[in-house]
Amino acid sequence: MTTPRPLDDLLSQSDIQGKKVFVRADLNVPVTAQGTIRDATRLDRLLPTLEELSQAGARIGILSHFGRPNGTKNAAMSLEPIARALSSILAKQVGFCSDCIGHPAMTGMDNLAAGGLTVLENTRFHAGEEANDAAFIKSLSAPADAFVNDAFSTAHRAHASTEGLARHLPSYAGRSLQRELEALETVLGNPTRPVMAVVGGAKISTKLDLLFNLISKVDTLVIGGGMANTFMAAQGIAIGRSLCEETMFDKVRDILQAAQNSGCEILLPDDVVLAENFAATDSPISCQATQVPEDMMILDAGPLAVSKIKAAIVKSKTLVWNGPLGAFELTPFDEGTKIAAQFAAQQTIAGDLVSVAGGGDTVAALNHADAANGFTYISTAGGAFLEWLEGKTLPAIDTLQHNKLEKRVG
């Protein structure tokens, strides 16, 4: 992997004091209808970059999108309240500029004292952001001398504030983005073998690229959740009323063939936990995966399947995890995910495993299992994390890594 220029290269510059630095952050935190932040993890992860730049005396402008205002100003999606929340987390004054371009942005940055911080208004209030429009990038880059990208979660989108700025300003990777890249490199770039992947969740159709890419990279692939049903059905096993994607049967056969060709062992559940409906129950039934009654549905991996996953974890040195093994929102169908995830966390804490998880519902499932803290790294990046696991190039990272600085215009 080509490594992007680290933050240290910027911090060690002799003129860092007073330098105007834009940090692309991900302030797109989940909020309640009343505007209260439900989970501030994304803000917490920005602290190292912001604190180090501030201590070095840089003047810091924080850029981010928030929601989907579709290129128009929308007071409900203003970053002003998030700037206040960031200020209390940082225990430092954080200003606010009413626009990310033009006079408010220019004066907001110019008026900062050395070490001062300000949040600029939602970049998506301008259509040029998502269009990665050249004129907009020019206006956006105007107030700053340097650019730090610390928003891995937005790196799969070639937008003006993610990819465009990296072509217009000397650019660096922030601490949180750097950590994310290192974690991904550890599991898929240059992993300690054997490597194992757990892929669960509802549907194969949303994870085809992921499955094909993982097969070419890992030694063992555990298929769980609703996806496992389709794998079994495609092989002629009756799965009752379980979630199933019949249109994916050919793809399943392609996946199994590809796995055989590349020597990747596929683990499907030997036993399963059933219910009559997609609902919590006090009386779950477990049975062998080949014995599912017509009127029942599979909602979790069974005890034998979970033991096999644990045995595979013991044999592995590296684990990458995406998606729950069952309908984890419904008790007791969270059991399989819980036991396997807690075991992975235990092995990680014991120093026997490097474990990285993320994407979709995975963070919620591992938090629910009380296992997330034991993992080596949990990615909150969602789409960007998945695209990386799918083997795709993330445009904002690509530009940053290859330092594609164009001659600055204007």
The catalytic residues are: 42, 203, 360, 383
If one asks whether residue 327 binds ligand AMP (CB under 6 A), the answer comes out as yes
Please state, in angstroms and as integers, the Cα–Cα distance from residue 345 to each residue in 45, 355, 365, 395, following that order. 21, 8, 13, 32
Task: Reply yes or no: is the peptide bond before residue 303 cis, omega within 30 of 0.
Answer: no
If one asks whether residue 243 binds ligand AMP (CB under 6 A), the answer comes out as yes
Nearest-angstrom CA–CA distance, 173 and 298: 44
Which region among 106-114, 115-123, 286-294, 323-331 touches ligand AMP (by CB under 6 A)? 323-331
Task: Judge whether 302 and 271 are in contact, CB under 8 Å.
Answer: yes
CB of 21 to ligand AMP, least distance (A): 36
Please state, in angstroms and as integers, the Cα–Cα distance from residue 20 to each residue in 149, 158, 171, 309, following that order. 14, 23, 12, 51
Q: Which of 39, 329, 390, 398 binds ligand AMP (CB under 6 A)?
A: 329
Spell out, one character per residue from 44 to 83, where the chain touches ligand AMP: x when CB under 6 A holds, - when not: ----------------------------------------
Q: Tokens in use for 344?
A: 């992975």
CB of 107 to ligand AMP, least distance (A): 44
Residue 386, marked binder? no
If one asks whether residue 324 binds ligand AMP (CB under 6 A), the answer comes out as yes
Residue 167, marked binder? no
Residue 130, marked binder? no
Cα angle value 385/380/2 (rounded, 5°): 45
Other CB atoms within a 10 A radius of the CB of residue 277 amount to 11
For residue 21, how many C-alpha atoms fall within 13 Å in the half-sphere facing its CB?
34
If one asks whether residue 143 binds ligand AMP (CB under 6 A), the answer comes out as no
Which is closer to ligand AMP, CB of 191 or CB of 226? 226
If one asks whether residue 94 binds ligand AMP (CB under 6 A), the answer comes out as no
Which is closer to ligand AMP, CB of 116 or CB of 358? 358
**In this structure, what DSSP letter does residue 309 have?**
H
Q: How many residues make contact with ligand AMP (CB under 6 A)? A: 15
**In this structure, what DSSP letter does residue 186 have?**
I
Which region among 198-206, 259-267, 371-379, 396-404 touches ligand AMP (by CB under 6 A)? 198-206
Q: Which residue is nearest to ligand AMP (CB)?
A: 201
If one asks whether residue 358 binds ligand AMP (CB under 6 A), the answer comes out as no
Which is closer to ligand AMP, CB of 180 or CB of 300? 300
Residue 95, marked binder? no
Q: Which of 108, 201, 302, 374 binds ligand AMP (CB under 6 A)?
A: 201
Q: Tokens in use for 358?
A: 């993320």
Task: Reply yes or no: is the peptide bond before residue 81 cis, omega within 30 of 0.
Answer: no
Residue 124, marked binder? yes
- Please state at what angle helix 249-262 crosses helix 208-215, rounded to 10 degrees: 20
Task: Judge whether 286 and 266 are in contact, CB under 8 Å.
Answer: no
SS3 247: helix
Q: Which of 143, 164, 225, 358 binds ligand AMP (CB under 6 A)?
A: 225
If one asks whether residue 363 binds ligand AMP (CB under 6 A), the answer comes out as no
Which region among 83-91, 152-160, 306-314, 319-327 touches ligand AMP (by CB under 6 A)? 319-327
Residue 133, marked binder? no
Residue 28, marked binder? yes
SS3 26: coil
For residue 41, how many C-alpha atoms fall within 13 Å in the half-sphere facing its CB?
12
Residue 65, marked binder? yes
Q: Which of 323, 358, 374, 395 binds ligand AMP (CB under 6 A)?
A: 323
Which region among 41-49, 88-96, 102-110, 320-328 touches ligand AMP (by CB under 6 A)? 320-328
Spell out, one character per residue from 274 to 313, where the chain touches ligand AMP: x when CB under 6 A holds, - when not: ------------------------xx--------------
Residues in the chain, overall count: 410
Task: Judge whether 222 and 336 are in contact, CB under 8 Å.
Answer: no
b/e sequence 103-126, b meaning 16+ C-beta within 10 Å: ebbbebbeebeebbbbbbbbbbbb
Strands (E), 27-89: 59-63
Element (H, E) at 263: none
Task: Judge whether 81 and 43 are in contact, CB under 8 Å.
Answer: no
Residue 193, marked binder? no
Q: Which residues bind ligand AMP (CB under 6 A)?
A: 201-202, 206, 225-226, 243, 298-299, 323-324, 326-327, 329, 360-361
Question: Which residues participate in the annotated binding site for (2R)-3-phosphoglycerate?
Answer: 42, 124, 157
For the annotated binding site for substrate, the residues are: 26-28, 42, 65-68, 124, 157
Binding residue ranges: 26-28, 42, 65-68, 124, 157, 207, 329, 359-362
